[in-house]
Structure 1
Amino acid sequence: MDLQISVFLLFILFTAGHSLSCYECTSMTGSCADQKLKTCPSGSSNCMSLTAKRQDQFSFKTKIKDCVVDCQSGFMNFGISKMSSSCCNTDQCNVKDAPDPSNIPNGRKCYYCDGQSCSNTVSCSGTEDRCVKATVTLGSLSAVVKGCATTSICDATFIPDIQGISCCEGNLCNGAQSVTQSFLFLCCSLLSYFMMH
């Protein structure tokens, strides 16, 4: 009996002070070749890896890795920009980059916003099985976002800077109202969420 208590106390002693360690990098060139290992701050319970790409006159590919408090693995497609995130909760588990978002259409279509109108349609791809609509707020600015997402993103209980997230099943179920906010603001806001949280 004393041996069991001793082993239990040793287990508590060695695990109580353990902090999660994750890889960290922010790359605007699409490569995390110089990622660094870091000890996560108190309260961080996940390691995250994010891949974001935009395909138009402002084309870019961003890779981000860091410690986060809360995270959902999944895919989002906002027309000309796509994102994928991978989340895990063990030491150094984010060594691999989040996968590139799929380009293989799955038959679903949703509305997306381009800064002038939300009546554009996008073909969802891969596992993007829901249409999504939300409001992204950064400071005093806000923008409506629409597009495709995986169910896991829709099931998120809390995503900072994003309010009123709603997902639906069925083609073009996320409405087509117009907006006047800048689409570039949208991309920066979503990237700031993943970089800051």
Structure 2
Amino acid sequence: MHLNIFTVLIFTLFAEGHSLKCYQCIGLLGPCEKKETTCPSGDAVCGSQMTVQSIGATSTNIQTKSCLEPKMCVNGSLNFGITRTATTTQCCNTDLCNSRDVSDSSSNNLNGKQCYYCENDSCFNKLSCLGSEDHCIKAKVNSESMSVTVKGCASKSMCDAISQISQYGDISCCQGNLCNSAKSITQNLLILLSWPFISYIMFH
């Protein structure tokens, strides 16, 4: 009996002192060259992500591996009209378990939902949502000395994740067609929101 208790205590102490090791890399033009890294946070997991970044008709596939906070292990998309970021993530919690690349599992099919998005000087342009984008989103993006309002379609998982990132302020998501109305703005800027870099820098 005492031996069993001692064994459990030793195992617990070892587990608490163990720092997770993960592969880390970003591949913009194909598979990325992996290197090992030790996660700085005890609650970190290893993540492997495939992100499809679309700007107009041009799409770029980005493969990312890194230590992640569990809240960044999301699957979904952010669609701001001119730009759309769709992310597929696989997370695990053993050393170097994120060796495999992830395939894109996002959908580009219309789902019948509409939200407002911002372009030029108007935030009342209508956008048809795609795939798992079941919410409308409105947020302020802080870029250097400028605060810019963005609107569009979003998956609920993405809404929940970016609400934890300091780059965004006054974020709100809602359900229902065109529920992100609010007032128009007089100044707008094309913001390239690259999800893999946002998640990558959470531990760097």
1:153 Cα offset (Å) = 2.4
- Give TM-score scaled by structure 2 length: 0.79
Is the deviation greater in 19-28 or in 59-68?
59-68
Q: Of residues 108, 114, 125 in structure 1, which corresponds to 2:119?
A: 114
Opposite residue 66 of structure 2, the aligned amino acid is D
Opposite residue 12 of structure 2, the aligned amino acid is I
Opposite residue 160 of structure 1, the aligned amino acid is S
1:25-104 matched pairs, under 5 angstroms? 25-29=25-29, 31-43=30-42, 45-48=44-47, 49-56=49-56, 59-69=59-69, 70-75=71-76, 76-79=78-81, 80-86=83-89, 88-91=91-94, 92-94=96-98, 95-97=100-102, 99-104=104-109
- The 4+ residue runs of structure 1 with deviation greater than 4 A are 188-192
Pairs aligned (count)? 194
Say if 2:184 is the partner of 1:177: yes
- Give TM-score scaled by structure 1 length: 0.81
- Residues 145 and 116 (structure 1), Cα distance of their counterparts in 2 relative to 1, 3 Å cut: same
Give per-residue Cα distances to partners, 1:7-62, cap 9 Å, x unaligned: 11221233122222222222222x23423332212356133425141232765333
Provide the C-alpha distance between the structure 2 equivalents of 1:33 and 1:113, rounded to a whole number of angstroms: 34
- Residues 191 and 42 (structure 1), Cα distance of their counterparts in 2 relative to 1, 3 Å cut: closer
Is the deviation greater in 122-131 or in 54-63?
54-63
SS in 1 for 2:164: coil
* Contact 2:73 2:91 (C-alpha < 8 Å) held by counterparts: no
* Contact 1:108 1:129 (C-alpha < 8 Å) held by counterparts: yes
Opposite residue 89 of structure 2, the aligned amino acid is S
Q: Of residues 139, 148, 151 in structure 1, which corresponds to 2:144?
A: 139
2:19 alignment counterpart: 19
Provide the C-alpha distance between the structure 2 equivalents of 1:86 and 1:152, rounded to a whole number of angstroms: 12
Give per-residue Cα distances to partners, 1:51-78, cap 9 Å, x unaligned: 1412327653333332133425132222
2:158 alignment counterpart: 153
* Contact 2:112 2:129 (C-alpha < 8 Å) held by counterparts: yes
1:105 alignment counterpart: 110
Opposite residue 18 of structure 1, the aligned amino acid is H
Give per-residue Cα distances to partners, 1:84-142, cap 9 Å, x unaligned: 15263513454333635321111111122235432332221221110111111133222
Opposite residue 36 of structure 1, the aligned amino acid is K
SS in 2 for 1:54: strand
Provide the C-alpha distance between the structure 2 equivalents of 1:98 and 1:144, rounded to a whole number of angstroms: 31
The percent of aligned pairs where both chains have the same amino acid is: 38
Is the deviation greater in 40-49 or in 168-177?
40-49
**What is the CA RMSD across the aligned residues, in angstroms?**
2.7
